Structure 1
Amino acid sequence: MKDNSRVHFGYVVAFLILIIIIIGTIRLGDDANLVQYMSFALTLTSLVLALLAIVYAFFSNNQFSSNINALSGVTEEVKKASKGLSNLSDNITESINRIPKHLEDVKKETQVASEAILQMKKGESINEEDDGTNKNLSDIQLDSYLKTGSFWGLITLYAVNKYFEKKEWFEIKKFIDNNENREYAYGYFISSSAIGIFEYSVKENKFFIDRMNDYVAAQIDKVLQDTIDGYTTDDDGTNQYKKIFDEVNNKL
């Protein structure tokens, strides 16, 4: 059997409300002050609601201002991040554009070293009047080797000569931070030693220069300076070779 108690309860409540309304109308219908009471109550209610609206608007406005400030801060962070990404992209592009030049430099240095080694094997670079302390490379060949050398190759020879003068053990990473340039410097270091420009000892990944070619020691500063002076400055007038040389020289 279906339970209709809720329906009947609803009917009873509605009927009672109707009776209350009828009784209230009869009792209050003759009251002349009822309209005034109602008007006063409505006016008071309106004032309370208006006050609540003002308070709500005040706090809402403060919250809105805080949200605007937070949004502005986030916008600035986004702008900074975007600028950082743009700079990173430019640096990556610049590094990629330098790769062909570095490869060309490596190819050139390898070719020069190969030619010098080949000449030594054929005996073309032997000067019988020399006492053997410089492995008998002619000044002409050494001059050609220096003048065709790359900037980082000359930086490497410059550092080698400085450490030879100071008689100190050293690591190449001490004065060259960039991995790419450091690997290139290692290659130039080995090839220059192979053709007799200097001799070195190794201990615990550190080098010690036992002998340095006299001609190279006397000319490296001038050749490196000529290479720096020959660099085309940037738009802002900066000579990047000079800047790098100063940084390296401060670490020696």
Structure 2
Amino acid sequence: MQKQEEQTYETKLSLTRLHFFYIVLILIGSLILMATRDWTKLDGFTEYLSVSATITSLVLGVLAIIYGFISSNSTNSSLGSVQAAAYEMKDVGSQLKELLSKGQELQEKAGSRNEELHSLIGNLRSTIDDLSTSTTHIAGTVEMLPVKIDSLRNEIFGKSVSQITPGVEAEQEAKLQTNQIQQFLSVSSIIGLAALKAIVEAKRLTKPADLEKIFKDDYSDSTAYAQGYLVASSCFGIVDFELEGGTKKVVKISFSGESDTLIEHEWSKREKSDDESSRNSISKYINKINASFTLQQSADAT
């Protein structure tokens, strides 16, 4: 109901506006007709009309000129804004182009780094394989040493005893043992030699050598390997030792002959090696050995 009333009101309003327009238009036409009929009877009307038209033209001309200036200033201002915007867009385009170039360069560098990383991983795998092969070879060599020693010893003792005096025989055996120990140490791994160096220092300081503190860290644990190497050295006749019950601490250490001196000599030789990785490993383990005994001293002091 209310909607219908609103529509009726709008219809009436539209008709009223239409009638108002007609009425105003008729009145204006009537006024023009009356002015034309009455004013044309005046003397000089055409001259007045011409003057009025001229003045009106002048006024309109002046207004047109003023409007032209205003419009021109507005146009210039707009063109200036457009030009400034164009320069800004040009700068933005240059920056985007530079950014794109840097992005491509960064992508190329990332690809190069990935290739270098893959190459390093490949080299690391190759090094690990070589290390595994070397370790296997060393283990095989160590296992064959007792057999070679027995064979060499039998060959020596197979000679005529009459040709060798007791003193010379003892000297030759000692020299043979020294040569064998030197050969054994020369093919020893870094970890094995570090284990022997640790018990040499333990013997000198009269303190136990804690293998776990030396060969175990957050990344690897070579304690079992070091212990096994000491056992192999003991079987070879280089050192005799015992482990403290339930621990990895080496106690009651005794060396045969000049074994400890030969171990020190081989250690010093490795420290002066031309192989940088070997020197770095020697430096790392000597620091760990010294640190383990320093911790023991601090514990004893407390």
> 1:127 maps to what in 2?
none
**CA-CA distance at 1:210 after TM superposition:** 0.7
> 2:265 maps to what in 1?
222
Deviations 1:38-92 (A, max 9, x none): x957766544433322222233434544554555556545544543443333222
> 1:148 maps to what in 2?
184
Shift in CA distance, 225/43, structure 1 to aligned 2, threshold 3 Å: closer
Deviations 1:195-240 (A, max 9, x none): 55212123453312213123122432234445777x6x35xxx4x4
Equivalences for residues 123-162 of structure 1 within 5 A? 139=174, 140-141=176-177, 143-149=179-185, 150-152=187-189, 153-162=192-201
Unaligned runs of 5+ in 2: 1-59, 152-156, 158-172, 290-302
* Letter in structure 1 aligned against 2:184: T
Aligned residues: 200
> 2:297 maps to what in 1?
none
Shift in CA distance, 169/206, structure 1 to aligned 2, threshold 3 Å: farther
> Is 1:201 matched up with 2:255?
no
In 2, Cα distance between the equivalents of 1:143 and 1:213? 16
**CA-CA distance at 1:106 after TM superposition:** 0.8
Equivalences for residues 91-106 of structure 1 within 5 A? 91-106=124-139
In 1, Cα distance between the equivalents of 2:109 and 2:206? 53
> Is 1:190 matched up with 2:231?
yes
> 2:253 maps to what in 1?
211
Shift in CA distance, 227/68, structure 1 to aligned 2, threshold 3 Å: closer
Equivalences for residues 27-46 of structure 1 within 5 A? 40=72, 45-46=78-79
In 2, Cα distance between the equivalents of 1:243 and 1:189? 22
Structure possessing the higher radius of gyration over alpha carbons: 2
> 1:53 maps to what in 2?
86
Unaligned runs of 5+ in 1: 1-30, 119-123, 125-137
CA contact (8 A) 1:151 1:227 kept: no
* Letter in structure 1 aligned against 2:281: I
Task: Give the secondary-structure state (helix, strand or coil) at the position aligned to 2:207.
Answer: coil
In 2, Cα distance between the equivalents of 1:117 and 1:192? 16
Please give the TM-score of this superposition, normalised by the length of structure 1. Answer: 0.57
In 1, Cα distance between the equivalents of 2:271 and 2:91? 67
In 1, Cα distance between the equivalents of 2:209 and 2:110? 43
Identity score, percent: 11
Task: Give the secondary-structure state (helix, strand or coil) at the position aligned to 2:253.
Answer: strand
* Letter in structure 2 aligned against 1:154: L
**CA-CA distance at 1:107 after TM superposition:** 0.9
Shift in CA distance, 68/179, structure 1 to aligned 2, threshold 3 Å: same
